[in-house]
Every structure is written in structure tokens, then in C-alpha cells.
Structure 1
Amino acid sequence: MTTLIHNAVLIDPEAGTESPGALVLRDGVLADVLPAAPEALDRFAEVIDAQGRHLAPGLVDWGVKVSEPGERHKESFRTAGLAAAAGGVTTIVTRPDTHPAIDTPEILEFVARRASQDSPVRVLPMAALTKGREGREMTEIGFLQDAGAVAFTDADRVTEDTRVLARALTYARSLQALVVTHVQDPGLSRGAVMTSGKFASLRGLPAVSPMAERLGLQRDLSLVEMTCARFHADQVTTAAALPALAQAKDRGLDVTAGVSVHHLTLNDFDVGDYRTFFKLVPPLRQEEDREAAVEALASGLIDVLCSQHTPQDEESKRLPFEAAAAGAVGLETLLPASLRLVHGGRLSLPQLFRALSLNPSRRLGLPTGRLAKGAPADLVLFDLHAPFVLDRWTMQSKSKNTPFDGARLQGRVRGTWVAGRRVWPLPKDL
């Protein structure tokens, strides 16, 4: 079936443009990119009038936790896929911090099978870097890569043994595999739930200095320089860490970095009176760090913007702040929360979609993230100026632990397509 979407404002992050146009979808790819709709509309099986809304490549959300296997009551591939579709996310790159961890080809194949059966969006799994994510022995990276792993990470666990990490990076380099690490000094950050400062002291909560992130990043970058491995820092959230990242890129190391939308739009004051929906890993930073991270994303120093989707059930969040589980869901709020930066004049739409779609696609070797002839027809149509108040109970995710509950947001998703098939709003046959 051939579909025409016309009367749209096309956001092309590759060209850096935002202009009126139309797209032709055929056989799962973009068959044509037009400046306007052709006169003969009857030759298309389906014609969609975008009514002047924005049309962009679908989001590629890197670092999503889907709680299968082990904690399906928190999130399944079906509910995560529906949440992604509702948020304009067409590809989710999943973390291996499940129970058990995704550290063997057999578990990876189970995950891939469940994802293909249940999720309406594309699912690309990452595998564990070390067995059981325990940091003692590296996994069979080659076998896992053959089974479909797109990258290797122990998620938010730091490999404390430098020799183990160096060996893993060396082996990954021989296979051109991408290694993703959580950059924190484990000794300084262990047990901390907030970023150090006056607010943490007033609340009497154990805190960690931003220098812990800088120390962790510097160690990992030194090992990358030694091994020449492909490397991605999953969360760079402090001003103190940015110079080390800039120096590594200047030296030509194969390095990229990401940041979550929560760390770009919230700060440590949002914790307020011990609001556990704002307990994250890493913890929310001070306003100066948030501003620095926004500037780094705008300049391209930080490459990827993600949700760091981490579902937690009510029982694990309704606890004292120190005891509560960390993390927040974000698949459905990634786009509208990110648009705060556009409405505030900090980013243009092409800049935003470079970080949300094009850069993660390029880093993972995917053909997505572009509005070009022959590219996959993975698209999001959204109303840039539509305001709404988020009600967490209307979200598609099984878990409802969002820090944006009750927040005023602007930018509603009106349609999501994966390989030319509309997956949101839900078609009758889904």
C-alpha cells in the first residue's frame, strides 16, 4: 500500500532543515520526499492530511529497561511497545539489567523472540558486558553479537575491576563491538541518593559530588585510549565531566555520550519534600549542571538524548527516599518533555531530532533517523503547540512512576509509523 502524508512541516535532522513538504510511504520505506502534495491524489491508497503539523523521523530511545524476564509485572514488551508508540518512539534499545541478566545467547534469543511477538515498535537489545553484570568475568561478546546484541553494557553497575574492563574493551575492539558504561566512581557514589550541595544537606540525604562522574569518565576514557575501543558513556550529567569528554573527542577517540531528558529538564530542587518519583540514577543535578548539559547537547558535545526508561512498581516507590527504588518511566514523555527545550529557545527542532533520532541511529549503525528517499518509514507526527496536563494513570506503561505527573507539557503525538505501518493511534488489528 502506498501512503501519502502531505501538508506537513518536515524536520530533517540530517540536513538541519524544517520546511513544508510531503512524504510517500511504500513497502516500508520512504519512496519519495516532496515539497508539496502532487495534484493526482487518487493514485495513493491512503492520503493523510497532516494539517500543518510537524513530521519527523521516529525517535530512537537508547537505554530502555523492559522488565522481561523476571519482573514482567513492572513492564512487558507489549506495554513498553505501546508506550513507545504513544510517545513517537519507533525503536527502543533495551538494557540487559533484567532477572536474570541478558548475558547468554539463549536469554538474548528469548528476549528477541518476545519482542518480535509483542512489541509494535522495533526492539534492539543490548547484552551484558560481564556475566551477571557482576564485573568479574566478561561475557561471550562474539556469540552475543552474532545473536543480535547491538552493544554491551552492565547498565548502571560500574565494573570496578579496571583489569576486567580493559580486557572487555580490548576484546570488543577486535569485534568492533560498542561498549556502553555508566560513568561514576563507585566508591564515592555508593549509597548516595542526591547530588551534594546545600539542598541535600538541608534534607539530610546521603549525597555524591559531581566529581564522581568526572573520575569515572576519566578512568573509562583512559582505557578507551589504551584499547582503541568503540565507547559510549550512557549518562554525562555534570559540568565537571564535560571537559574530559571534549578532550577525548579532540584526540580522535571513538567516543559518544548520552544524557536523559530528566537531567535536562529537572534539577535537584525538584526532589522537594522527598518526592521519590524524582529519585534517579544518576541523581538529579544542580541547576548549573543542567544548564551545562543543555549547552553540550546543543553544541553536539553530548550526542544522544534518551528517556532512560526505568519502570518501578508502586510498592518500591512508596518508601522513604533513601529506601525507594530509583528510576522513572519516560517513553511517553520523552518527546513532550524534550520540547520544553525548543519552546524555551534552547534547541531548534532539527537539533533536537539529531539527538533523539539521527545520532543514536548513526552510532548503532541503523538506517533510521533520516527523511531521505529509501530510508525506513519510521515517523512521528506531532502537534508542536498542543498543551496538556499529564495524568500518569492514562499512560500505556504498566508502571506509572513519572516525575512529570501533573506537569503542564506542550506537544502531542498524533501519529506514529513503523516501517510504513501506523502503530499509533492504535489500529483495529493491533
Structure 2
Amino acid sequence: MKLLIQNGRVICPETGHDAVADVLIEDGRIAGVGPGLSTSGAEVIDAAGLVVAPGFIDIHVHLREPGFEHAETIETGAQAAAAGGFTTVCCMPNTNPVNDSVTVTKYIVETARRKAAINVFPIGAITKGSNGEELASIGSMIAAGAVAISDDGKPVMNARVIRRAMETARALDIPVIEHCEDLNLSAGGDMHECDDSVRLGLRGIPSASEDVMVARDIILAELTGVRYHVAHISTKNAVAMVAYAKQRGLRVTAEATQHHIALDTGHMKPYDSAYKMKPPLRCEHDVKAVVDGVVSGAIDCLATDHAPHAGDDKMQEFERCPFGIIGLETALGVSLEVLVHSGLISLPRLIALYTSEPARVIGWKNELARGALKPGYVGDVTVFHPEYPWVYDVKNSLSKSSNTPFSGRTFQGGPILTIVGGQVVWRADGF
């Protein structure tokens, strides 16, 4: 039950460690970090030339089980996550039935324990059926293993309901994760409202639909004192409002997805459903603002919003097909390309966006402490190469779905080993 990772560049943003060293995992926990650790009784992995980081965390994925197993299951989604270097994911509640009760929460927890290669934590619904009308059984879901609440995919339009949810979450010390969209402004929209939407004859989703909800929720977050998290932030004004909230000392955080920092409306292939997601791809100035928010710290972490859909669902007219793309296996490659290889942020900062920062947003501590290579923390490790070239072929994806705009793209750097609780659960070919 001992694993020793030797000779890698160990980067732990939480502790500030950045040097060639060894990492020892014993009985599923980090036992030591430093040079020349003893190999006695340990399985040894030579990580020379590689980066050794805390296990990557994605706090925003859709695993589709129960109810939509034709698109993804907890097992296959976890396999795709492991191939992307993720050791922990948090899955959103828009399943069938919706995860709005202790029964569904327990089902996800128990299924993940039996079948998932990585750690899977459910996020419970804010309202029953995610219909935005009546609060779900929040306390029971948290007791059963949920780590946050969200109606992701459906915003809570009623301000009184979201206020009560925030008050409940404040009492339970859990974050509220909001999908910020005013449905009255975005109704019927299929892509970002701009010149391109007019040219393509598609109904637009204006940036204002996100902005007004972020503004409302920040006001309510100040009123209630809740830990409030903006999911998949995508507009210039929303980033500015989150930055302002932080300056005022509010407990407001935000995440950005890889596609919202790498793609804008100009990259869209006309009527190609692989470019249909919500929030939609925005204009170039919005993308720049989101990237700037990541660089400045206004945006706390990166997340994939991994949203698998079966081929026959996505292979419809653009107006009829569902929103969402997969992203677990390309996340690191995209992030390295946009943020690190461009010189915008350092490698340790990128690692923080996938480790200590999402762990802080959720609030893991004590026996669940993760996101750092510190003695006593969960023994999850991501080993990656920051430079090696590889081509993403979605046909080889471990996900059950293939809805991505990144297939065929060449990346510089990607995962090599994914280690969960001291066990290697995924290894790149040739390493």
C-alpha cells in the first residue's frame, strides 16, 4: 500500500513547493514530499522530466446517470476524467430523476464507489425537480454526500426562492453554484447575440441574460452571507461584477470553462452542433475578459462543464439539438495552450486553478482534504508532461459521447498518469 513517485518536478501551489522531489503515498494518503525518500516496500514510479501535481479537480461535470445512460454513465464519465488527469469530479443534478432527494444522492454515491475509477461527489439540486419553485431536501442530500447545491442547466428565476436557498446553504456552510441566465432574455436563443447570429439566421442569447442574474445573485449573496459561486462565467460584465464583489469582501467565486477561454463566435463552423453550448461562445472581447479574469484572480478556477450527448441527439438541426460539449480529456491541453504557453500565467498558477482553488470553493477539509501534496491529505496525484505534442481524436475518447469542437486538434502537453488513493487508474500510451 505504498507508492513512491520519484524524480518529478513536484508543484504544489498550496505549499509553494516547486522543485524536483519524491512523493510518497501510504494507505491512500500523502505520507511525505521531499528529495531522496526511502523506497523500502514501495512501488516506484520514475517521473523524471514530468510534472507531479496534486490530483486535478473538476467541480462541474454532467455524468448523466441516472436516466441518460445512453449518453454517459458514472463509470464512463469517470474513465474519461481519469484520462484527462482528473482525480475528483463533482456531478451536477440534472439527471432523471433529478438529484433532489437523499435517494438519488445515495444512488450516485454508491454507484461511484462501486464503478468509478476516481472520486465522484454529487451536487444536489436547489429546488425540487430543478423547477425553481420549492426548495429540495438540501440538508438530507448534504448528509448523504452532496457537497454543494445547484440547478445547473436551469437558473433559479425566482429571487425569493434563491434567497431562501442561500440562507439554507449559509447555515450548512456549503456553496450555492448558479447557472446565471435570465430565461426571459435568452428564450429561444441558440447562440450568442451578435452580427454572426444575424448572418446565420439564428436567434441570439444576449450577454445581458447572464449579466442581470449575476448582479441579482451578488446582491443576495451579500444579504445572506452565503458562499456563492458563478458557474461557467462568460461575459465581460459578469467578470467585472465578480471582481467587484471580491474587492468588497463578499464570499463570491467563479469558474471559467476551457471552451470559453479558447473559442469565440468567430471560431464557430456554421450550424455545427459541436459549437452549441450554454452559455454560448461569446464575442472576442468577452473571451478576452474571461481570460483576463483568470489571470487577475477574479476567476478562481477552471472547470469543464463536461456535457455528453448521444450522437442522434446532437446530429439534429442546430436549433433543435441540445446544448453542451464534452471536455474532460482536452481540458489540460487547452489550458496549457491558452494560458501557459502564451505566457499569460505560470505553470504553478495553472495547477492551482485545477487543485487548491476548486478545493477551496467546495470547502473540503479534515478526512476529505484534497488539492495539495501535504501529509495527511488524500493521496491523489496527477502526473503530466507540459510540452509533449499529441492529437486529440474523439474516436478514441473514453466518454460514451463525442460532441466536441476539439477533435483533430494538436496540443502541447497533457496527462501521463492519474493516481487515486495511491493507485494508478490511468496511464498514457507509451509511458
Query: Normalising by the residue count of structure 2, what TM-score does the alignment of the two structures yield?
Result: 0.95
Conserved 8 A contact 1:96-1:154: yes
Q: Residue 400 of structure 2 aligns to which amino acid in structure 1?
A: K
Q: Which residue of 2 aligns with 1:143?
A: 140
SS in 2 for 1:305: strand
Shift of 1:2: 2.1
Q: Residue 413 of structure 2 aligns to which amino acid in structure 1?
A: G
CA distance in 2, matches of 1:11, 1:124: 25
Q: Which residue of 2 aligns with 1:11?
A: 11
1:208 aligns with 2:197: no
SS in 1 for 2:355: helix
Q: Which residue of 1 aligns with 2:356?
A: 358
Q: How does 1:417-428 map to 2 (within 5 A)?
A: 417-425=419-427
CA distance in 2, matches of 1:226, 1:416: 41
SS in 2 for 1:387: strand
Q: Which residue of 1 aligns with 2:31?
A: 31
Root-mean-square deviation over aligned CA pairs: 1.5
Q: Residue 206 of structure 2 aligns to which amino acid in structure 1?
A: S
1:387 aligns with 2:389: yes
CA distance in 2, matches of 1:47, 1:174: 45
Q: How does 1:232-311 map to 2 (within 5 A)?
A: 232-311=229-308
Shift of 1:77: 1.1
Shift of 1:412: 2.7
Q: Deviations over 1:20-57 (max 9, x none)?
A: 211111111121111x335x64x242121112111111
Q: Residues 206 and 17 (structure 1 numbering): CA distance in 2 closer, same or farther, change over 3 Å?
A: farther
Which residue of 48, 52, 56 corresponds with 1:55? 52
SS in 1 for 2:71: coil
Shift of 1:16: 4.4
Conserved 8 A contact 2:167-2:226: yes
Shift of 1:357: 1.2
Q: Among the aligned pairs, what percent are the same residue?
A: 38
Q: Residue 229 of structure 2 aligns to which amino acid in structure 1?
A: H
CA distance in 1, matches of 2:107, 2:2: 34
Q: How does 1:85-124 map to 2 (within 5 A)?
A: 85-124=82-121
Which residue of 168, 174, 178 corresponds with 1:181? 178
CA distance in 2, matches of 1:295, 1:18: 25
Conserved 8 A contact 1:18-1:349: no
Shift of 1:304: 1.5
Which residue of 223, 227, 239 corresponds with 1:230? 227
1:162 aligns with 2:159: yes
SS in 1 for 2:78: helix
Q: Deviations over 1:251-304 (max 9, x none)?
A: 221111111111011111221222111111100011111111111112111001
CA distance in 2, matches of 1:168, 1:382: 39
CA distance in 2, matches of 1:16, 1:284: 35
Conserved 8 A contact 2:174-2:362: no
Q: Deviations over 1:133-160 (max 9, x none)?
A: 0001011211111111100110121111
Q: Which residue of 1 aligns with 2:402?
A: 400
CA distance in 2, matches of 1:282, 1:17: 36
Conserved 8 A contact 2:417-2:428: no
Q: Bigger CA drift: 204-213 or 14-23?
A: 14-23
Shift of 1:90: 0.2
Q: Residue 147 of structure 1 aligns to which amino acid in structure 2?
A: A
Conserved 8 A contact 2:232-2:303: no
Shift of 1:374: 2.3
Q: Which residue of 2 aligns with 1:2?
A: 2
CA distance in 2, matches of 1:369, 1:200: 41
Q: Bigger CA drift: 327-336 or 122-131?
A: 327-336
Conserved 8 A contact 1:16-1:351: no
Which residue of 62, 73, 87 corresponds with 1:65? 62
Shift of 1:19: 2.2
- Gaps of at least 5 residues in structure 1 are none
Q: Which residue of 2 aligns with 1:375?
A: 377
Q: Residue 383 of structure 2 aligns to which amino acid in structure 1?
A: L
Q: Residue 166 of structure 1 aligns to which amino acid in structure 2?
A: R
Shift of 1:426: 9.1
CA distance in 1, matches of 2:260, 2:355: 18
Conserved 8 A contact 2:52-2:383: yes
Conserved 8 A contact 2:25-2:31: yes
1:342 aligns with 2:340: yes
CA distance in 1, matches of 2:27, 2:47: 21
CA distance in 2, matches of 1:18, 1:273: 44
Q: Residue 103 of structure 2 aligns to which amino acid in structure 1?
A: E
Conserved 8 A contact 1:80-1:396: yes
How many residues matched?
424
CA distance in 2, matches of 1:177, 1:417: 27
CA distance in 1, matches of 2:197, 2:191: 6
Q: Deviations over 1:170-215 (max 9, x none)?
A: 2222222321111122211122121122222211111122122111
Q: Which residue of 1 aligns with 2:411?
A: 409
CA distance in 2, matches of 1:242, 1:263: 12
Q: Deviations over 1:292-330 (max 9, x none)?
A: 111111211100100100000111111111111110111
Conserved 8 A contact 1:211-1:241: no
